[in-house]
Chains A and B, each alone.
Chain A
Amino acid sequence: MDTLSTGRLSRRAARARRFAITLVLAALLWWVLAGHASLLSPLAVLAILGAAVSTLFLPLGRPFRLSLSALPGFAAYFLRASVAGGVDVARRALSPAMPLKPGFVSYTTELPHGAALTFFMAIISLLPGTLSVRLEGRLLTVHVLDTRLPIETSLTDLETHITRVFIMAPRPGGAA
């Protein structure tokens, strides 16, 4: 009984936090798109409140926390990887010889299902030469432009970066 009530309590706290975050982000978005003068118009207030209230009815995902101290490091890593990825593919596309050695690589990820894994799969597609194709359980199929590249190392590298940024809480209620 005790674990059940704390689980319910943490769910309520998670909802309240998500409500507040959505409220702030929606207001920020409105300000960015329409300027601060329109922020107090009835339509803006309605839209912002509506966005925040709608989170109260949507199901909760697996809770996670972002580590703010790890974010700058990740941003630097992401920008570096984006540039490397873009330059790499542009070079291959423009070179007359078009050096490609495409193939599929399987990778077993340690990340739990949820936001971190979704994020991992999205970022893979922006790294040099890799593209996430399919996820079965924890087995990820990745398409690579050049199988001679050190794919395994760069995926492990990305995974380490993501575990630093996403601090995944255990599923509310205990079962992992």
Chain B
Amino acid sequence: MIDVLSIILIAAGLVFFAAGTAGLLRFPDVYTRLHALTKADNLGLGLVVLGLLIRADALAPMFKLVLVWALVLVAGAAACHLVAQRAWTRLDGEDES
């Protein structure tokens, strides 16, 4: 039962990773691509972590999985903002100068 649930969750997570990658390839500009990456991967990794959490047999690995997710969230949000900000200042400067 747990195995089935775990596989369903992980497979659902992979669907979101695939969708995020599709967005990265199909979306028209840097901002929309960032949308696809951050949000789809956050949810995809969250589902994969959830699928692995219910199989974990001790407390420490559970914390480790949640920690991985939290660190990816923080890194993803920070990197996404930095890329967006850089794109903004560069395009802005080209437009006005």
Known contacts being A32-B60, A125-B80, is A82 close to B42, with CB within 8 Å? yes
Question: Chain B residue with minimal CB distance to A79?
Answer: B46
Q: Does A111 contact B (CB under 8 A)?
A: no
Please encode chain B, from 56 to 85, with 1 for each CB lying within 8 Å of some chain A CB and 0 for all others.
000010011001000001101110110011
Q: Kindly identify, within residues 22 to 52 of chain B, every residue whose CB is under 8 Å from any CB belonging to chain A.
A: 22-23, 26-29, 31-32, 34-36, 38-40, 42-44, 46
Q: Which of B15, B27, B38 contacts A125 (CB 8 A)?
A: B38
**Are A86 and B60 neighbours in the complex by a CB distance under 8 Å?**
no
**Are A122 and B42 neighbours in the complex by a CB distance under 8 Å?**
no
Q: Kindly identify, within residues 12 to 44 of chain A, every residue whose CB is under 8 Å from any CB belonging to chain B.
A: 28-29, 31-33, 35-36
**Number of residues on chain B facing chain A (CB within 8 A):** 38
- For the complex formed, measure the closest distance between the CB of A141 and the CB atoms of chain B, giving whole angstroms: 7
For residue A100, which residues in chain B have a CB less than 8 angstroms away from its CB?
27-28, 32
Q: Does A98 contact B (CB under 8 A)?
A: yes
- For the complex formed, measure the closest distance between the CB of A73 and the CB atoms of chain B, giving whole angstroms: 19
**Are B16 and A86 neighbours in the complex by a CB distance under 8 Å?**
yes
For residue B88, which residues in chain A have a CB less than 8 angstroms away from its CB?
133-134, 141
Give the CA-CA distance A154 to B92 in the complex, in Å: 27
**Are B60 and A89 neighbours in the complex by a CB distance under 8 Å?**
no
Give the CA-CA distance A175 to B6 in the complex, in Å: 53
Known contacts being A88-B39, A122-B74, is A133 close to B84, with CB within 8 Å? yes
Q: Does A9 contact B (CB under 8 A)?
A: no
Q: Which of A33, A85, A90, A125 contacts B19 (CB 8 A)?
A: A90
Known contacts being A31-B60, A93-B22, is A86 close to B39, with CB within 8 Å? yes
For residue A28, which residues in chain B have a CB less than 8 angstroms away from its CB?
63
- For the complex formed, measure the closest distance between the CB of B41 and the CB atoms of chain A, giving whole angstroms: 8
**Are A32 and B84 neighbours in the complex by a CB distance under 8 Å?**
no
**Are B40 and A86 neighbours in the complex by a CB distance under 8 Å?**
yes
Residues of B in contact with A (beta carbons under 8 Å apart): 15-16, 19-20, 22-23, 26-29, 31-32, 34-36, 38-40, 42-44, 46, 60, 63-64, 67, 73-74, 76-78, 80-81, 84-85, 87-89
6 contacts between A and B (CB under 8 A): A82-B39, A85-B43, A86-B40, A93-B23, A132-B84, A141-B88
